[in-house]
Chain A
Amino acid sequence: MTNKQLNKSQIFLVTGPMNIKVISGTVSVIGAEFGKGKTFSVPQGKKVPVETLPSSGEVKLQSSGKGRIEQLEKRTIPAMWDSLAQKIYKEKLKKILILGEVDTGKSFFTTYISNKLINNGSTVGILDCDVGQSDVGPPGTLGLAICKKKFLFLANQPADDIYFIGSLSPGLHLTLFLTGIDKLTTEASAKTDFLIIDTTGWVHGDGGRQVKHSKIDIINPDLVILLQRKDELEHLVLTVPPKKVFRLEVSKTASNTSQHDRKLLREMVSIDYFKGSKKFAIPLTKLKTERSYFKSGNEVNIPNKKVVYAERLRAWEGTLVFVKEALTPAEAGELSKSFGNIRQFKTGQEKYITIALLDGNRKILGLGSIEKIDFKSGKLHFHSPLPEKLIKKVCIIQFGSNRTDFSGREMGFISPGAI
């Protein structure tokens, strides 16, 4: 245990692991104020700036842990962030859209502004749209956190709702992505005073431009904040009324994350989500499916030893055929005379497909990973961290395009439309 006395307007960088207790005075940590008797923790691998407030008297802190505290020469958070937070609060700018390339500190900025608003007694919704680098909710989902209490790390905020995309990139899932944003924005608007939308860093090229313009159309934000190094985002707001656009320079402390580290960070969140997963089996007769051809047609009998299960789909869609081994072109050609286009799916290929588990009202309960579709027993075997009582409510599954093993590790992809 170490005691530390801070003077007015001093800034310290606390590197975890470290527990801090405020003995006297008030400090601000990423916009969250901690007064006398309050405590906060900085986990290993994290760093946070701790500032004494100009209005605060003498500040005494008690620290414990293996981390370190070092004094900074000057404030790393620009003063403009504070005036912006005030503007949002005073002018009741309810929907705030944050745009920035990757590694521009969007999550840190979101945390800071949220805490400033929470300090004023507001309820703040945070919609995390970064499906590949999720803070709120597991990877491959859009996450909504409704925050009434200050927090230091966005990743520790529990998701109040998620929307399943099933991919770590919106690229081939734009419709789902925008639908999810619309759904969660509507939900958040009814439950919060302010909504901050933290976006992906995909801002260039056809897809990046299109998705950001569509977001602006769907959300109709009261304020668009550009976190940019120079002018790299200006093309996105050319037609947005100037009074609705606020420009901020990217902090010099924002650092680049490598492709490898991004995967590690993503997997840490996913592994944490799937921690304690158990194996479950649900009769296929009890399940309805979305985002798949499987279980959307009528089961048909195909007299071929390679065929395990087959479903005639609608109109020109043909027939989905689960096979033990691939049909030869001649076999497939012969079958197509009676069953239309033959869509072959090799049994076993369903392993590790990430699925969302929904109740009968289409409310998403959580995620799972398929182990096997067993046509002999007529059951879907999967792993999920959900408790048994929630699993009993599952009657709809949504298929994703990414694969996750039962411990949350990434295992690749499945072609959209394959099943």
Chain B
Amino acid sequence: MSFSENDFPGLITQLERASGAYPDPGFSLEVVKEIIRIFKRVPLYPGIAAGCSFKIVKEISPEILKEGDFTLVFPKKGQPFSGKVKSVGKDRIDLASKENIKTADVKKVLVINKKVLEEDWPTLIFPEVK
């Protein structure tokens, strides 16, 4: 048979893609974790988790980074680096990993959007059963 009977192969393909899609392994790992977190929230719909995976990473302007965001920073010079944002100053970004960069030296930043499921599938959002 050439058809797969469920969407798990597609989900694995997206996990594989995400694991090698970024120049920083720490950022790739966070993207993979986010895909898995989405799947655990909708365990009957691996296809939806796979579909959401394309929207997890988005490019934003450095000025709108927030404390707690997980970001991948591409400097104008040097290697990209990733980490959780500790603080965003007027002209400077500090990561919890103690790395920092002047906003003027940033070429682009990527962040992980943790609200993809809420945005795309609001009908699948339920309170946690405790």
Which of A83-91, A118-126, A316-324, A405-413 touches B? A405-413
Whether B123 pairs with A402 at a CB distance below 8 angstroms is no
B46 CB contacts on chain A under 8 angstroms: 171-172
Q: Which residue of A lies closest to B123 (CB)?
A: A263
Most buried by B among A263, A348, A401, A412: A412
A206 CB within 8 Å of chain B: yes
Query: Residue B4 contacts which of A206, A259, A401, A416 (CB distance < 8 angstroms)?
Result: A206
A169 CB within 8 Å of chain B: yes
Chain B proximity of A209: nearest CB distance (Å):
6
The answer for the CA separation of A348 and B129 in the assembled complex, in Å, is 8
Chain A proximity of B21: nearest CB distance (Å):
23
Chain B proximity of A346: nearest CB distance (Å):
9
The answer for the CA separation of A351 and B6 in the assembled complex, in Å, is 27
Whether A401 pairs with B122 at a CB distance below 8 angstroms is no
The answer for the CA separation of A249 and B61 in the assembled complex, in Å, is 48
Chain A proximity of B2: nearest CB distance (Å):
8
Whether A172 pairs with B123 at a CB distance below 8 angstroms is no
A145-185 interface (Cβ within 8 A of B)? 167-169, 171-172, 174
With A174-B5, A206-B3, A209-B3 as contacts: A416 and B43 at CB distance below 8 Å: yes
A204-225 interface (Cβ within 8 A of B)? 206-207, 209-210
Whether B5 pairs with A412 at a CB distance below 8 angstroms is no
Most buried by A among B3, B44, B124, B126: B44
Query: Residue A416 contacts which of B40, B44, B123 (CB distance < 8 angstroms)?
Result: B44
Mark contacts of B62-103 with chain A using CB atoms, 8 A cut-off: 1 yes-contact digit, 0 otherwise. 000000000000000000000000000000000000000000
Whether B126 pairs with A412 at a CB distance below 8 angstroms is yes
B42 CB within 8 Å of chain A: yes
Mark contacts of A391-403 with chain B using CB atoms, 8 A cut-off: 1 yes-contact digit, 0 otherwise. 0000000000111
Whether A401 pairs with B44 at a CB distance below 8 angstroms is yes
Whether A169 pairs with B127 at a CB distance below 8 angstroms is no
Q: Which residue of B lies closest to A166 (CB)?
A: B44
Query: Residue A207 contacts which of B6, B42, B124, B127 (CB distance < 8 angstroms)?
Result: B6
Chain B proximity of A69: nearest CB distance (Å):
35
Query: Residue A413 contacts which of B4, B5, B44, B123 (CB distance < 8 angstroms)?
Result: B44
Whether B6 pairs with A172 at a CB distance below 8 angstroms is yes
Whether A210 pairs with B5 at a CB distance below 8 angstroms is yes
Whether A167 pairs with B44 at a CB distance below 8 angstroms is yes
B3 CB contacts on chain A under 8 angstroms: 206-207, 209-210
Whether B43 pairs with A411 at a CB distance below 8 angstroms is no
A301 CB contacts on chain B under 8 angstroms: none
B105 CB within 8 Å of chain A: no
How many A-B residue pairs lie within 8 Å, measured between CB atoms? 63
A382 CB within 8 Å of chain B: no
A334-355 interface (Cβ within 8 A of B)? 348-349, 351-352
With A411-B126, A412-B126 as contacts: A174 and B44 at CB distance below 8 Å: no
With A207-B5, A209-B3, A262-B123 as contacts: A413 and B43 at CB distance below 8 Å: yes
Mark contacts of B94-130 with chain A using CB atoms, 8 A cut-off: 1 yes-contact digit, 0 otherwise. 0000000000000000000000000001111011011
B122 CB contacts on chain A under 8 angstroms: 259-260
B45 CB contacts on chain A under 8 angstroms: 169, 171
Q: Which residue of B lies closest to A208 (CB)?
A: B3
Whether B44 pairs with A352 at a CB distance below 8 angstroms is no
A206 CB contacts on chain B under 8 angstroms: 3-5, 7
A415 CB within 8 Å of chain B: yes
B26 CB within 8 Å of chain A: no
Query: Residue B6 contacts which of A168, A174, A403, A410 (CB distance < 8 angstroms)?
Result: A174
The answer for the CA separation of A50 and B114 in the assembled complex, in Å, is 51
Q: Which residue of A lies closest to B4 (CB)?
A: A206
Whether A351 pairs with B44 at a CB distance below 8 angstroms is no
B121 CB contacts on chain A under 8 angstroms: 259
Chain A proximity of B119: nearest CB distance (Å):
12
A238-267 interface (Cβ within 8 A of B)? 259-260, 262-263
Query: Residue B129 contacts which of A172, A263, A412 (CB distance < 8 angstroms)?
Result: A412
The answer for the CA separation of A73 and B122 in the assembled complex, in Å, is 40
The answer for the CA separation of A416 and B47 in the assembled complex, in Å, is 15
The answer for the CA separation of A97 and B122 in the assembled complex, in Å, is 33
B124 CB contacts on chain A under 8 angstroms: 412
Chain B proximity of A410: nearest CB distance (Å):
7
A352 CB contacts on chain B under 8 angstroms: 129
Q: A171-B45, A259-B123, A401-B44 provided; 5 other pairs, C-beta below 8 A? A: A171-B46, A207-B6, A348-B130, A411-B129, A416-B43
Residues of A within 8 A of B (CB): 167-169, 171-172, 174, 206-207, 209-210, 259-260, 262-263, 348-349, 351-352, 401-403, 410-416
Residues of B within 8 A of A (CB): 1, 3-7, 40, 42-47, 121-124, 126-127, 129-130
Q: List 8 A-B contacts (CB under 8 A).
A: A169-B45, A171-B46, A207-B5, A207-B6, A207-B7, A259-B123, A415-B40, A415-B43
- 10 closest A-B pairs by CB: A412-B126, A415-B43, A206-B3, A263-B123, A210-B3, A206-B4, A413-B44, A259-B123, A351-B129, A174-B5
